[in-house]
Structure 1
Amino acid sequence: MNIFKQLVKSIYSPKDIALFRFQGIGKTILYVFLLTLISILPSIIYLSTALTTGIDSARTIISKELPDFSIKKGQLTADTLVPVTSNQDNFTIILDPTGTISDTDVENEGNAFALLKDEFVLAAGGQSNIYPYAMLQGLNFSKEDLLNFIDTIAGNRGIIIPLLSLFIYLVSSASSFVEVSVLAIIGLVLKNLLGRKLTYRQLWRMAAYSETLPTLFFTIMAAIKTSVPNSFMINWLVVIIVLYLAINEIPKPKKKITE
């Protein structure tokens, strides 16, 4: 069965997920990479769109509407006592040295770029990427530096977008493998509760395919820019239920008849 047929089967068939425990580990790893790619497609598309259409709007807003500011020693300071928010062409820029606005607030804005007290946030399509200033040791940044940086991005967007997409993909892939590994550990508990004989390697394969349904669901929600409350808990609840059903499809070991 090819990997795309497995994708379809894994949406609705715990029985097929159970059968996938016998396949090679290489194919399962490839499947995790495929799921990760699917899951980040909305983010990459929205990021590309926001970067392409938002550069001109951002330059206009920053130069004309934002007060002078600077980032030193991991903190934002600005000539304002309240958060400043400006919107142009469906792109929002936020400057908040007060700590009032959170990254969730930025995410709810849709396409937005925010300089917050301790971090900057880039949001696109209901999802956000957060970068603390502390990550950049010795960062000294001003309004004029930001304008120059925007001009640089505008001239190199054909290189920047693929590099950002690759970075997002690699980070997301690492996160996916960690999630599958943790789910497989949970599977060890489930298989003991259900009285099934399975190894961790088999459970890891099954865990990878159990991720299919919630991954596709949240990808669709991201594509239509719909935020799902408690998405973290819902994701884990669904994958655990799917893995439980898959383990339950495996026949119990036959009991030895003693004379």
Structure 2
Amino acid sequence: MNIFIQFYKSLYSPKTIARTRFQKIGKTIAYVFFLAFISSIPAVIIINSYIMENLESVERSLKVDFPDFSIEDGSLVLKEQNNFVETTSDNFHIILDETGDQSDNDLAMQSNVIAFLDDSLVVKVEGNQVFNQSYVYFLDNYTKDDIIDILHQLNNSKWIIIILASLMYFILNSFMKFLAVTFLALFGNILKQPAKKAIKFSQVWTISAYSITITTVFFTIMEFLKTPVQMGVFIGWTVNFIILYLSIKEIPSKKQRKLS
């Protein structure tokens, strides 16, 4: 049975999932990577669109809409009397705040923001903080023109950035999938004892990998639709546990094997 048929049948058949315990572990590992690839697609699309659409507009906005500023000795310095400037460029809210008044709660209200605060640079995308770095760790002082030049270079190299960012996300997502499967397998290993199922931990791990198929597909679709799921973690793990339990239940018990 190829990986696509297994994927399809794992969406509805605990009996098919139970049968996967006989396959080689290498095929199961490939299947987990396959699930990680599928679930990475919405985020990769978002990463690509934001890089493609916003790098150039942020560069243009800094050049046109903001006064001269610099980052000197770990602090933001504005060259004009106005020590707080903000504007919106396409999807991004851009802030220069020398006052230090901008709080975490203020930034939490912004979905997409680039904030040059008094002592750090903060970048948020789709409400998630992706970068927060104190100026103290910057290797040099930077002027407004230096930052615009960096953005220009990034804009010229955006395809490389897109590939690297997508690859890094896929690797991280794969790690999280393997972690989830292993955690679920530990639960399944406990579950097999009272159920008297004669299966090894490696077989439970294989079954666990296919048991997360439904939740992977569901949450991937929700991400495509940009629809948040209330109590998503609880719902996801509950479904995973139920599918794993039903799959293990399909395996003949030790007593049934002796009778046969």
TM-score in terms of structure 2 length: 0.80
Return the alpha-carbon distance in structure 2 between the equivalents of residues 71 and 40 of structure 1. 39
**Bigger Cα displacement from structure 2, 248-257 vs 196-205:** 248-257
Is the CA contact 2:92–2:114 (under 8 Å) kept in the aligned structure 1?
no
Superposition deviation, residue 204 in structure 1: 0.7
Return the alpha-carbon distance in structure 2 between the equivalents of residues 3 and 197 of structure 1. 26
Superposition deviation, residue 16 in structure 1: 0.8
Aligned CA distance change for structure 1 residues 237 and 66 (closer, same or farther; 3 Å): farther
Q: Among the aligned pairs, what percent are the same residue? A: 34
AA matched with 1:205: T
Give the total of aligned pairs: 247
Return the alpha-carbon distance in structure 1 between the equivalents of residues 10 and 160 of structure 2. 36
Return the alpha-carbon distance in structure 2 between the equivalents of residues 238 and 94 of structure 1. 42
Corresponding residue of 2:215: 214
Superposition deviation, residue 42 in structure 1: 0.9
Superposition deviation, residue 78 in structure 1: 7.0
Corresponding residue of 1:12: 12
Superposition deviation, residue 47 in structure 1: 0.9
SS in 2 for 1:120: strand
Q: Does 1:99 align with 2:100?
A: no
**Could you give the per-residue CA deviations for residues 148-173 of structure 1, whole angstroms, max 9, x where no partner exists?**
22111111112111111111111111
Is the CA contact 1:72–1:139 (under 8 Å) kept in the aligned structure 2?
no
Corresponding residue of 2:190: 189
Return the alpha-carbon distance in structure 2 between the equivalents of residues 253 and 201 of structure 1. 18
Unaligned residue ranges in structure 2 (runs of 5+)? none
SS in 2 for 1:254: helix
Aligned CA distance change for structure 1 residues 65 and 246 (closer, same or farther; 3 Å): farther
SS in 1 for 2:255: coil
Aligned CA distance change for structure 1 residues 159 and 205 (closer, same or farther; 3 Å): same
Return the alpha-carbon distance in structure 2 between the equivalents of residues 49 and 9 of structure 1. 33
Return the alpha-carbon distance in structure 1 between the equivalents of residues 107 and 17 of structure 2. 37
TM-score in terms of structure 1 length: 0.80
Corresponding residue of 1:231: 232
* Aligned pairs for 1:43-58 within 5 A: 43-58=43-58
Corresponding residue of 1:133: 133
AA matched with 1:57: S
**RMSD across aligned C-alpha pairs, in angstroms?**
3.1
Superposition deviation, residue 223 in structure 1: 0.8
Superposition deviation, residue 102 in structure 1: 7.7
Superposition deviation, residue 247 in structure 1: 1.1
Superposition deviation, residue 33 in structure 1: 0.6
**Bigger Cα displacement from structure 2, 36-45 vs 53-62:** 53-62
AA matched with 2:228: S
Return the alpha-carbon distance in structure 1 between the equivalents of residues 233 and 121 of structure 2. 22
Aligned CA distance change for structure 1 residues 16 and 60 (closer, same or farther; 3 Å): same
Aligned CA distance change for structure 1 residues 138 and 119 (closer, same or farther; 3 Å): closer
CA radius of gyration, larger in: 2
Superposition deviation, residue 133 in structure 1: 2.2
AA matched with 2:36: T
Aligned CA distance change for structure 1 residues 188 and 217 (closer, same or farther; 3 Å): same
Is the CA contact 2:124–2:130 (under 8 Å) kept in the aligned structure 1?
yes
SS in 2 for 1:12: coil
**Could you give the per-residue CA deviations for residues 20-40 of structure 1, whole angstroms, max 9, x where no partner exists?**
111011110000111101111
Return the alpha-carbon distance in structure 1 between the equivalents of residues 143 and 230 of structure 2. 35
